[in-house]
Protein backbone atom coordinates (compact mmCIF):
# COMPACT_ATOMS: atom_id res chain seq x y z
CA UNK A 1 0.00 0.00 0.00
CA UNK A 2 1.21 3.46 -0.78
CA UNK A 3 1.62 5.62 2.30
CA UNK A 4 1.55 9.33 1.72
CA UNK A 5 4.17 11.10 3.79
CA UNK A 6 2.81 14.57 3.08
CA UNK A 7 -0.16 14.24 5.36
CA UNK A 8 -0.35 12.35 8.60
CA UNK A 9 -4.05 13.18 9.04
CA UNK A 10 -6.21 10.14 8.57
CA UNK A 11 -8.61 10.28 5.60
CA UNK A 12 -11.48 9.06 7.75
CA UNK A 13 -11.68 9.22 11.49
CA UNK A 14 -14.52 8.35 13.84
CA UNK A 15 -14.25 9.18 17.52
CA UNK A 16 -16.78 7.94 20.06
CA UNK A 17 -19.63 7.99 17.55
CA UNK A 18 -23.14 7.49 18.94
CA UNK A 19 -26.23 6.73 16.91
CA UNK A 20 -29.67 5.48 17.85
CA UNK A 21 -32.72 4.60 15.80
CA UNK A 22 -35.46 5.36 18.30
CA UNK A 23 -34.72 3.31 21.41
CA UNK A 24 -32.27 1.09 19.54
CA UNK A 25 -28.65 2.06 20.09
CA UNK A 26 -26.93 1.13 16.82
CA UNK A 27 -23.55 2.76 17.36
CA UNK A 28 -22.31 2.93 20.91
CA UNK A 29 -19.04 4.81 21.00
CA UNK A 30 -17.44 3.69 17.75
CA UNK A 31 -13.92 4.87 17.01
CA UNK A 32 -11.58 3.98 14.18
CA UNK A 33 -9.43 5.74 11.62
CA UNK A 34 -8.41 5.04 8.04
CA UNK A 35 -5.06 6.27 6.79
CA UNK A 36 -4.39 7.30 3.23
CA UNK A 37 -4.07 4.27 0.97
CA UNK A 38 -5.38 1.95 3.63
CA UNK A 39 -8.06 -0.69 3.11
CA UNK A 40 -10.29 -1.20 6.11
CA UNK A 41 -12.84 -3.98 6.31
CA UNK A 42 -15.82 -3.62 8.63
CA UNK A 43 -17.13 -7.03 9.59
CA UNK A 44 -19.70 -8.33 12.02
CA UNK A 45 -23.10 -9.92 12.26
CA UNK A 46 -26.10 -8.19 10.73
CA UNK A 47 -27.37 -5.65 13.21
CA UNK A 48 -23.91 -5.05 14.62
CA UNK A 49 -23.89 -1.51 13.23
CA UNK A 50 -21.26 -1.92 10.52
CA UNK A 51 -23.42 -0.65 7.66
CA UNK A 52 -24.67 2.25 9.76
CA UNK A 53 -21.09 3.19 10.63
CA UNK A 54 -20.23 3.21 6.92
CA UNK A 55 -23.27 5.30 6.03
CA UNK A 56 -22.38 7.82 8.74
CA UNK A 57 -19.06 8.48 6.98
CA UNK A 58 -20.93 9.80 3.91
CA UNK A 59 -23.59 11.44 6.10
CA UNK A 60 -26.41 9.21 4.90
CA UNK A 61 -27.10 8.91 8.61
CA UNK A 62 -26.72 11.77 11.08
CA UNK A 63 -24.88 10.87 14.24
CA UNK A 64 -26.18 11.72 17.70
CA UNK A 65 -22.77 12.26 19.23
CA UNK A 66 -19.05 11.93 18.69
CA UNK A 67 -16.84 13.26 15.96
CA UNK A 68 -16.41 12.20 12.33
CA UNK A 69 -13.77 13.82 10.16
CA UNK A 70 -13.57 12.78 6.50
CA UNK A 71 -10.97 14.44 4.25
CA UNK A 72 -11.07 17.47 6.53
CA UNK A 73 -14.89 17.73 6.57
CA UNK A 74 -16.50 17.70 10.00
CA UNK A 75 -19.26 15.27 9.07
CA UNK A 76 -20.83 15.30 12.54
CA UNK A 77 -21.53 19.04 12.35
CA UNK A 78 -24.91 20.17 10.98
CA UNK A 79 -23.30 22.79 8.75
CA UNK A 80 -21.06 20.32 6.87
CA UNK A 81 -20.91 21.04 3.14
CA UNK A 82 -22.50 17.82 1.91
CA UNK A 83 -21.72 18.36 -1.76
CA UNK A 84 -18.05 19.01 -1.02
CA UNK A 85 -17.94 15.94 1.23
CA UNK A 86 -19.50 13.75 -1.42
CA UNK A 87 -17.05 14.89 -4.05
CA UNK A 88 -14.31 13.50 -1.85
CA UNK A 89 -16.15 10.31 -0.94
CA UNK A 90 -17.38 7.69 -3.39
CA UNK A 91 -19.96 5.16 -2.27
CA UNK A 92 -21.04 1.90 -3.88
CA UNK A 93 -24.22 0.19 -2.69
CA UNK A 94 -25.37 -3.38 -2.38
CA UNK A 95 -28.14 -2.83 -4.94
CA UNK A 96 -25.88 -1.03 -7.50
CA UNK A 97 -28.39 1.83 -7.90
CA UNK A 98 -27.47 2.65 -11.45
CA UNK A 99 -29.93 5.08 -13.03
CA UNK A 100 -32.15 2.84 -15.18
CA UNK A 101 -33.18 5.57 -17.66
CA UNK A 102 -29.57 6.37 -18.61
CA UNK A 103 -26.96 4.40 -20.52
CA UNK A 104 -23.83 3.31 -18.70
CA UNK A 105 -21.95 6.19 -20.28
CA UNK A 106 -24.62 8.70 -19.20
CA UNK A 107 -24.64 7.20 -15.71
CA UNK A 108 -20.93 7.86 -15.49
CA UNK A 109 -20.78 11.30 -17.12
CA UNK A 110 -23.79 12.76 -15.28
CA UNK A 111 -22.05 13.84 -12.08
CA UNK A 112 -18.70 14.92 -13.59
CA UNK A 113 -20.61 17.21 -15.98
CA UNK A 114 -23.21 18.46 -13.50
CA UNK A 115 -20.98 18.81 -10.45
CA UNK A 116 -17.46 19.34 -11.72
CA UNK A 117 -18.37 21.16 -14.92
CA UNK A 118 -16.56 18.85 -17.32
CA UNK A 119 -17.38 19.28 -21.00
CA UNK A 120 -19.25 16.45 -22.71
CA UNK A 121 -16.12 15.28 -24.56
CA UNK A 122 -13.94 15.37 -21.45
CA UNK A 123 -16.58 13.39 -19.59
CA UNK A 124 -16.82 10.82 -22.39
CA UNK A 125 -13.08 10.28 -22.33
CA UNK A 126 -13.31 9.87 -18.59
CA UNK A 127 -16.16 7.36 -18.93
CA UNK A 128 -14.08 5.29 -21.33
CA UNK A 129 -11.14 5.38 -18.93
CA UNK A 130 -13.05 4.29 -15.82
CA UNK A 131 -14.95 1.62 -17.72
CA UNK A 132 -11.65 0.23 -18.93
CA UNK A 133 -10.57 0.10 -15.30
CA UNK A 134 -13.48 -2.22 -14.50
CA UNK A 135 -13.27 -4.10 -17.80
CA UNK A 136 -16.55 -2.91 -19.30
CA UNK A 137 -15.49 -0.68 -22.23
CA UNK A 138 -17.84 -2.50 -24.58
CA UNK A 139 -20.89 -1.65 -22.43
CA UNK A 140 -20.60 2.11 -22.90
CA UNK A 141 -23.95 2.43 -24.65
CA UNK A 142 -25.85 -0.35 -22.89
CA UNK A 143 -28.63 0.32 -20.40
CA UNK A 144 -28.25 -1.07 -16.87
CA UNK A 145 -31.02 -3.66 -17.37
CA UNK A 146 -29.02 -5.20 -20.23
CA UNK A 147 -26.13 -5.99 -17.88
CA UNK A 148 -25.66 -8.85 -15.42
CA UNK A 149 -25.56 -8.06 -11.71
CA UNK A 150 -21.80 -8.27 -11.62
CA UNK A 151 -21.47 -5.99 -14.62
CA UNK A 152 -23.91 -3.50 -13.09
CA UNK A 153 -21.91 -3.41 -9.90
CA UNK A 154 -18.68 -2.87 -11.82
CA UNK A 155 -20.38 -0.05 -13.74
CA UNK A 156 -21.48 1.46 -10.42
CA UNK A 157 -17.87 1.33 -9.21
CA UNK A 158 -16.77 3.03 -12.44
CA UNK A 159 -19.42 5.74 -11.95
CA UNK A 160 -18.05 6.39 -8.50
CA UNK A 161 -14.45 6.40 -9.72
CA UNK A 162 -15.28 9.03 -12.35
CA UNK A 163 -15.69 11.57 -9.54
CA UNK A 164 -12.10 10.83 -8.52
CA UNK A 165 -12.91 10.36 -4.85
CA UNK A 166 -10.22 10.40 -2.15
CA UNK A 167 -11.85 7.51 -0.37
CA UNK A 168 -14.33 4.87 -1.49
CA UNK A 169 -16.98 3.20 0.63
CA UNK A 170 -18.33 -0.22 -0.30
CA UNK A 171 -21.55 -1.31 1.40
CA UNK A 172 -21.83 -5.09 1.01
CA UNK A 173 -21.31 -4.69 -2.70
CA UNK A 174 -21.34 -8.41 -3.46
CA UNK A 175 -24.22 -9.45 -1.20
CA UNK A 176 -26.83 -9.19 -3.96
CA UNK A 177 -24.76 -11.20 -6.42
CA UNK A 178 -24.68 -14.87 -7.30
CA UNK A 179 -21.50 -16.52 -6.06
CA UNK A 180 -20.13 -16.89 -9.59
CA UNK A 181 -20.50 -13.13 -10.16
CA UNK A 182 -18.88 -11.93 -6.94
CA UNK A 183 -15.42 -12.83 -8.21
CA UNK A 184 -15.43 -10.30 -11.04
CA UNK A 185 -16.44 -7.50 -8.66
CA UNK A 186 -13.91 -8.47 -6.01
CA UNK A 187 -11.17 -8.50 -8.66
CA UNK A 188 -11.99 -4.90 -9.56
CA UNK A 189 -11.81 -3.87 -5.91
CA UNK A 190 -8.51 -5.71 -5.50
CA UNK A 191 -7.09 -3.77 -8.43
CA UNK A 192 -8.25 -0.49 -6.86
CA UNK A 193 -6.51 -1.44 -3.64
CA UNK A 194 -3.35 -2.26 -5.54
CA UNK A 195 -3.54 1.18 -7.17
CA UNK A 196 -3.51 2.75 -3.72
CA UNK A 197 -7.17 3.76 -3.31
CA UNK A 198 -8.24 4.38 0.27
CA UNK A 199 -11.23 2.15 0.97
CA UNK A 200 -13.67 1.26 3.70
CA UNK A 201 -15.75 -1.81 3.02
CA UNK A 202 -18.51 -3.62 4.78
CA UNK A 203 -18.24 -7.21 3.65
CA UNK A 204 -19.34 -10.72 4.41
CA UNK A 205 -16.59 -12.20 2.24
CA UNK A 206 -14.12 -13.23 4.93
CA UNK A 207 -11.62 -14.73 2.52
CA UNK A 208 -11.63 -11.54 0.53
CA UNK A 209 -11.32 -9.34 3.62
CA UNK A 210 -8.38 -11.38 4.78
CA UNK A 211 -6.65 -11.07 1.42
CA UNK A 212 -7.16 -7.38 0.80
CA UNK A 213 -7.67 -5.53 4.09
CA UNK A 214 -4.83 -3.78 5.89
CA UNK A 215 -6.99 -3.66 8.95
CA UNK A 216 -10.11 -5.40 10.18
CA UNK A 217 -12.69 -3.78 12.44
CA UNK A 218 -14.97 -6.36 13.99
CA UNK A 219 -18.18 -4.80 15.25
CA UNK A 220 -20.44 -6.33 17.85
CA UNK A 221 -23.54 -4.73 19.41
CA UNK A 222 -22.68 -1.25 18.17
CA UNK A 223 -19.13 -1.29 19.45
CA UNK A 224 -15.73 -1.97 17.91
CA UNK A 225 -15.18 -5.29 19.59
CA UNK A 226 -11.86 -6.25 18.13
CA UNK A 227 -9.55 -4.62 15.65
CA UNK A 228 -6.20 -5.41 14.13
CA UNK A 229 -4.45 -6.62 10.99
CA UNK A 230 -6.05 -9.25 8.76
CA UNK A 231 -4.37 -11.92 10.83
CA UNK A 232 -6.96 -11.48 13.60
CA UNK A 233 -9.33 -13.44 11.39
CA UNK A 234 -7.14 -16.51 11.71
CA UNK A 235 -6.20 -15.92 15.31
CA UNK A 236 -9.03 -14.00 16.98
CA UNK A 237 -8.70 -12.88 20.59
CA UNK A 238 -12.28 -12.31 21.70
CA UNK A 239 -14.71 -15.23 21.89
CA UNK A 240 -17.24 -13.27 19.78
CA UNK A 241 -14.89 -12.89 16.83
CA UNK A 242 -13.78 -16.48 17.29
CA UNK A 243 -17.37 -17.57 17.03
CA UNK A 244 -18.02 -15.22 14.11
CA UNK A 245 -15.16 -16.50 11.97
CA UNK A 246 -15.76 -20.01 13.22
CA UNK A 247 -19.25 -20.11 11.77
CA UNK A 248 -17.67 -19.31 8.44
CA UNK A 249 -18.80 -16.85 5.87
CA UNK A 250 -21.93 -15.42 7.46
CA UNK A 251 -24.70 -14.03 5.35
CA UNK A 252 -26.93 -11.28 6.70
CA UNK B 1 -89.83 26.11 -31.97
CA UNK B 2 -90.16 22.46 -32.83
CA UNK B 3 -88.88 21.14 -36.13
CA UNK B 4 -86.30 18.46 -36.75
CA UNK B 5 -82.67 18.03 -36.00
CA UNK B 6 -80.81 19.57 -38.89
CA UNK B 7 -77.28 20.41 -39.91
CA UNK B 8 -77.36 23.71 -38.05
CA UNK B 9 -78.14 21.97 -34.79
CA UNK B 10 -75.33 19.54 -35.40
CA UNK B 11 -72.95 22.42 -36.19
CA UNK B 12 -73.97 24.02 -32.91
CA UNK B 13 -73.31 20.78 -31.02
CA UNK B 14 -69.98 20.48 -32.82
CA UNK B 15 -69.04 23.93 -31.63
CA UNK B 16 -69.97 22.91 -28.09
CA UNK B 17 -67.78 19.83 -28.46
CA UNK B 18 -64.87 22.03 -29.50
CA UNK B 19 -65.36 24.14 -26.37
CA UNK B 20 -65.39 20.96 -24.29
CA UNK B 21 -62.02 20.09 -25.78
CA UNK B 22 -60.83 23.68 -25.27
CA UNK B 23 -61.92 23.76 -21.65
CA UNK B 24 -60.30 20.34 -21.08
CA UNK B 25 -57.05 21.69 -22.50
CA UNK B 26 -57.20 24.75 -20.26
CA UNK B 27 -57.89 22.54 -17.25
CA UNK B 28 -55.13 20.11 -18.14
CA UNK B 29 -52.46 22.69 -18.92
CA UNK B 30 -53.38 25.04 -16.07
CA UNK B 31 -53.96 22.17 -13.67
CA UNK B 32 -50.79 20.47 -14.88
CA UNK B 33 -48.63 23.51 -14.17
CA UNK B 34 -50.17 24.20 -10.76
CA UNK B 35 -50.29 20.45 -10.02
CA UNK B 36 -46.55 20.13 -10.71
CA UNK B 37 -45.88 22.88 -8.18
CA UNK B 38 -48.22 21.13 -5.72
CA UNK B 39 -46.41 17.81 -6.22
CA UNK B 40 -43.04 19.44 -5.50
CA UNK B 41 -44.49 21.34 -2.54
CA UNK B 42 -45.87 18.11 -1.08
CA UNK B 43 -42.33 16.66 -0.84
CA UNK B 44 -40.61 19.93 0.03
CA UNK B 45 -37.94 19.81 2.74
CA UNK B 46 -39.82 22.69 4.41
CA UNK B 47 -42.53 21.45 6.73
CA UNK B 48 -44.71 24.57 6.35
CA UNK B 49 -44.76 24.16 2.56
CA UNK B 50 -45.66 20.48 2.91
CA UNK B 51 -48.51 21.28 5.28
CA UNK B 52 -49.88 24.18 3.21
CA UNK B 53 -49.95 22.08 0.05
CA UNK B 54 -51.52 19.12 1.87
CA UNK B 55 -54.27 21.40 3.22
CA UNK B 56 -54.95 22.69 -0.29
CA UNK B 57 -55.22 19.17 -1.68
CA UNK B 58 -57.53 18.02 1.11
CA UNK B 59 -59.77 21.09 0.78
CA UNK B 60 -60.21 20.68 -2.96
CA UNK B 61 -60.57 16.90 -2.86
CA UNK B 62 -63.21 17.25 -0.15
CA UNK B 63 -65.30 19.72 -2.16
CA UNK B 64 -67.59 18.78 -5.07
CA UNK B 65 -66.47 20.30 -8.35
CA UNK B 66 -69.98 21.68 -8.77
CA UNK B 67 -69.55 23.70 -5.58
CA UNK B 68 -66.15 24.98 -6.69
CA UNK B 69 -67.72 26.11 -9.97
CA UNK B 70 -70.56 27.91 -8.15
CA UNK B 71 -68.07 29.59 -5.85
CA UNK B 72 -65.96 30.67 -8.81
CA UNK B 73 -68.86 32.11 -10.77
CA UNK B 74 -71.70 33.21 -8.46
CA UNK B 75 -69.57 33.53 -5.33
CA UNK B 76 -67.02 35.86 -6.87
CA UNK B 77 -69.80 37.85 -8.57
CA UNK B 78 -71.52 38.33 -5.20
CA UNK B 79 -68.41 39.95 -3.75
CA UNK B 80 -68.14 42.23 -6.77
CA UNK B 81 -65.77 40.24 -9.00
CA UNK B 82 -67.57 39.71 -12.27
CA UNK B 83 -65.91 36.92 -14.22
CA UNK B 84 -66.92 35.38 -17.53
CA UNK B 85 -68.22 31.80 -17.57
CA UNK B 86 -65.05 30.73 -19.42
CA UNK B 87 -62.77 32.35 -16.84
CA UNK B 88 -64.77 30.94 -13.92
CA UNK B 89 -64.91 27.45 -15.40
CA UNK B 90 -61.25 27.51 -16.47
CA UNK B 91 -60.04 28.70 -13.07
CA UNK B 92 -62.25 26.30 -11.10
CA UNK B 93 -61.20 23.30 -13.18
CA UNK B 94 -57.54 24.33 -12.94
CA UNK B 95 -57.70 24.40 -9.14
CA UNK B 96 -59.58 21.11 -9.09
CA UNK B 97 -57.28 19.30 -11.52
CA UNK B 98 -54.17 20.67 -9.78
CA UNK B 99 -55.14 19.04 -6.50
CA UNK B 100 -55.60 15.63 -8.12
CA UNK B 101 -52.65 15.72 -10.50
CA UNK B 102 -50.47 17.04 -7.66
CA UNK B 103 -51.34 13.99 -5.57
CA UNK B 104 -50.93 11.55 -8.47
CA UNK B 105 -47.54 13.01 -9.36
CA UNK B 106 -46.34 13.18 -5.76
CA UNK B 107 -47.05 9.46 -5.51
CA UNK B 108 -45.14 8.83 -8.73
CA UNK B 109 -42.13 10.86 -7.58
CA UNK B 110 -42.11 9.03 -4.26
CA UNK B 111 -42.39 5.66 -5.94
CA UNK B 112 -38.96 6.10 -7.50
CA UNK B 113 -36.93 3.82 -5.22
CA UNK B 114 -35.18 5.58 -2.33
CA UNK B 115 -31.76 4.17 -3.27
CA UNK B 116 -31.97 6.18 -6.49
CA UNK B 117 -32.06 9.36 -4.40
CA UNK B 118 -29.16 8.12 -2.31
CA UNK B 119 -27.05 7.18 -5.32
CA UNK B 120 -27.64 10.66 -6.76
CA UNK B 121 -26.78 12.24 -3.41
CA UNK B 122 -23.65 10.14 -3.16
CA UNK B 123 -22.51 11.59 -6.49
CA UNK B 124 -22.72 15.12 -5.02
CA UNK B 125 -25.64 16.19 -7.24
CA UNK B 126 -27.62 19.14 -5.84
CA UNK B 127 -31.27 18.64 -4.90
CA UNK B 128 -32.40 20.29 -8.13
CA UNK B 129 -30.03 18.16 -10.20
CA UNK B 130 -31.18 15.00 -8.44
CA UNK B 131 -34.78 15.92 -9.17
CA UNK B 132 -34.30 16.99 -12.79
CA UNK B 133 -31.79 14.42 -13.98
CA UNK B 134 -32.48 11.33 -11.90
CA UNK B 135 -35.90 11.31 -10.24
CA UNK B 136 -38.26 13.14 -12.62
CA UNK B 137 -37.26 11.23 -15.77
CA UNK B 138 -38.15 8.01 -13.93
CA UNK B 139 -41.26 9.49 -12.29
CA UNK B 140 -42.61 10.71 -15.64
CA UNK B 141 -42.59 7.17 -17.00
CA UNK B 142 -44.54 5.98 -13.97
CA UNK B 143 -46.91 8.97 -14.12
CA UNK B 144 -47.93 8.77 -17.77
CA UNK B 145 -50.64 6.05 -17.61
CA UNK B 146 -52.51 7.46 -14.56
CA UNK B 147 -52.23 10.99 -15.95
CA UNK B 148 -53.75 9.99 -19.29
CA UNK B 149 -56.42 8.08 -17.38
CA UNK B 150 -57.21 11.17 -15.34
CA UNK B 151 -57.61 13.23 -18.52
CA UNK B 152 -60.74 11.17 -19.22
CA UNK B 153 -62.16 12.37 -15.90
CA UNK B 154 -61.35 15.97 -16.80
CA UNK B 155 -63.15 15.78 -20.14
CA UNK B 156 -66.28 14.36 -18.52
CA UNK B 157 -66.15 16.81 -15.62
CA UNK B 158 -66.10 19.83 -17.95
CA UNK B 159 -69.81 19.08 -18.51
CA UNK B 160 -70.41 20.60 -15.07
CA UNK B 161 -69.33 23.96 -16.46
CA UNK B 162 -72.73 24.07 -18.17
CA UNK B 163 -74.27 25.14 -14.85
CA UNK B 164 -72.44 28.47 -14.93
CA UNK B 165 -73.67 29.11 -18.44
CA UNK B 166 -70.56 28.08 -20.28
CA UNK B 167 -71.68 26.68 -23.64
CA UNK B 168 -69.69 23.51 -24.00
CA UNK B 169 -71.05 20.21 -25.34
CA UNK B 170 -73.53 19.56 -22.54
CA UNK B 171 -74.90 23.10 -22.47
CA UNK B 172 -75.22 23.24 -26.25
CA UNK B 173 -77.17 19.98 -26.07
CA UNK B 174 -79.55 21.51 -23.52
CA UNK B 175 -80.02 24.55 -25.74
CA UNK B 176 -80.78 22.47 -28.82
CA UNK B 177 -83.16 20.31 -26.81
CA UNK B 178 -84.98 23.38 -25.54
CA UNK B 179 -86.01 24.15 -29.08
CA UNK B 180 -86.52 20.60 -30.41
CA UNK B 181 -87.79 18.63 -27.38
CA UNK B 182 -86.10 15.46 -28.49
CA UNK B 183 -84.16 14.67 -25.34
CA UNK B 184 -83.44 11.02 -26.12
CA UNK B 185 -81.95 11.63 -29.54
CA UNK B 186 -80.02 14.72 -28.50
CA UNK B 187 -78.58 13.38 -25.26
CA UNK B 188 -77.69 10.15 -27.04
CA UNK B 189 -75.66 12.24 -29.49
CA UNK B 190 -74.06 14.08 -26.57
CA UNK B 191 -73.21 10.80 -24.83
CA UNK B 192 -71.76 9.35 -28.02
CA UNK B 193 -69.65 12.46 -28.53
CA UNK B 194 -68.23 12.29 -24.99
CA UNK B 195 -67.55 8.62 -25.52
CA UNK B 196 -65.76 9.34 -28.79
CA UNK B 197 -63.49 11.78 -26.97
CA UNK B 198 -62.83 9.63 -23.92
CA UNK B 199 -62.54 6.13 -25.31
CA UNK B 200 -59.38 6.69 -27.36
CA UNK B 201 -57.73 8.18 -24.27
CA UNK B 202 -58.82 5.22 -22.16
CA UNK B 203 -57.40 2.82 -24.73
CA UNK B 204 -54.18 4.83 -24.88
CA UNK B 205 -53.91 4.79 -21.08
CA UNK B 206 -54.41 1.01 -20.99
CA UNK B 207 -51.77 0.53 -23.64
CA UNK B 208 -49.33 2.71 -21.76
CA UNK B 209 -50.01 0.76 -18.61
CA UNK B 210 -49.28 -2.53 -20.33
CA UNK B 211 -46.06 -1.15 -21.71
CA UNK B 212 -45.18 0.19 -18.24
CA UNK B 213 -45.72 -3.24 -16.74
CA UNK B 214 -42.99 -4.40 -19.05
CA UNK B 215 -40.85 -1.33 -18.44
CA UNK B 216 -41.00 -1.71 -14.70
CA UNK B 217 -38.15 -4.17 -14.89
CA UNK B 218 -36.13 -1.09 -15.78
CA UNK B 219 -36.44 0.29 -12.30
CA UNK B 220 -33.57 -0.39 -9.98
CA UNK B 221 -34.16 -2.87 -7.16
CA UNK B 222 -35.52 -1.12 -4.11
pLDDT digits (tens, 9 = 90+) for B70-108: 999 998 888 888 889 999 999 999 999 999 999 999 999
pLDDT at B205: 86
- Torsions phi, psi for B150 (to 5 deg): -70, -30
Kindly list the residues from chain A whose CB atom is less than 8 angstroms away from the CB atom of residue B124. 82-84, 86-87, 111, 115, 163
Partner-chain residue, chosen from B115, B133, B134, that has the shortest CB–CB distance to A93: B115
pLDDT at B218: 46
Report the distance separating Cα A79 and Cα A75, nearest Å: 9
B215: Cα within 13 Å, side-chain hemisphere: 16
- Torsions phi, psi for B165 (to 5 deg): 85, 15
pLDDT at B4: 84
pLDDT at B25: 96
Cβ of A95 within 8 Å of Cβ of B115? The answer is yes
Cβ of A93 within 8 Å of Cβ of B118? The answer is yes
Mean pLDDT across chain B: 91
| B44 touches A at CB < 8 Å | no
Kindly list the residues from chain A whose CB atom is less than 8 angstroms away from the CB atom of residue B218. 100-101, 143-145
In eight-state DSSP terms, residue B161 is G
pLDDT of residue B217 exceeding 60: no
pLDDT digits (tens, 9 = 90+) for B101-154: 999 999 999 999 999 999 999 999 999 999 999 999 999 989 989 999 899 999
pLDDT at B206: 86
Question: What is B7-211's CATH topology?
Answer: MetI-like fold (1.10.3720)
Ordered DSSP codes for A75-120: TTSTT--HHHHHHHEEEE-TT----TTS-HHHHHHHHHHHHH---H
Task: Give this complex's ipTM.
Answer: 0.89
pLDDT at A252: 38
Question: Are A212 and A196 in contact, with CB atoms under 8 Å apart?
Answer: no
Q: What residue ranges of chain A have pLDDT lower than 70? A: 1-8, 247-252
pLDDT at A246: 80
In this prediction the pTM is: 0.85
Report the distance separating Cα A129 and Cα A158, nearest Å: 9
Kindly list the residues from chain A whose CB atom is less than 8 angstroms away from the CB atom of residue B220. 95-100, 144
pLDDT at A185: 93
For an interface test with B, the pick among A97, A115, A157 (most B C-beta atoms closer than 10 Å) comes out as A97
pLDDT digits (tens, 9 = 90+) for B167-214: 999 999 999 999 999 999 999 999 999 999 999 999 998 888 787 654
Dmax over CA atoms of chain A, in Å, equals 56
Question: Are A40 and A32 in contact, with CB atoms under 8 Å apart?
Answer: yes
pLDDT at A127: 96
Average pLDDT of the segment spanning B149-163: 94
| A111 touches B at CB < 8 Å | yes
Q: Label residue B2 by pLDDT band (50, 70, 90).
A: low
Partner-chain residue, chosen from B124, B137, B218, that has the shortest CB–CB distance to A111: B124
Amino acid sequence: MQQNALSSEPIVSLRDVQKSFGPLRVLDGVSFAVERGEVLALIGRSGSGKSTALRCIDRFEKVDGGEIVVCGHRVDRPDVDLRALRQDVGIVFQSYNLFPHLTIEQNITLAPCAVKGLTASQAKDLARKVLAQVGLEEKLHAYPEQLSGGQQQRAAIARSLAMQPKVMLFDEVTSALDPELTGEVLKVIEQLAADGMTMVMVTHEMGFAKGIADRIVFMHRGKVHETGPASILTSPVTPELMQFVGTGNLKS
Amino acid sequence: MGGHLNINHLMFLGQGALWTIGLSMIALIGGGIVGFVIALARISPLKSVRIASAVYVQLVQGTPLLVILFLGYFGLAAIGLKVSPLAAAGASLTLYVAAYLGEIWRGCIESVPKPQWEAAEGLALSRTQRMMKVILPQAIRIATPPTVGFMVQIIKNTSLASVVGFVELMRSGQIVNNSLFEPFAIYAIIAATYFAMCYPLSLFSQRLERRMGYGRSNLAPA
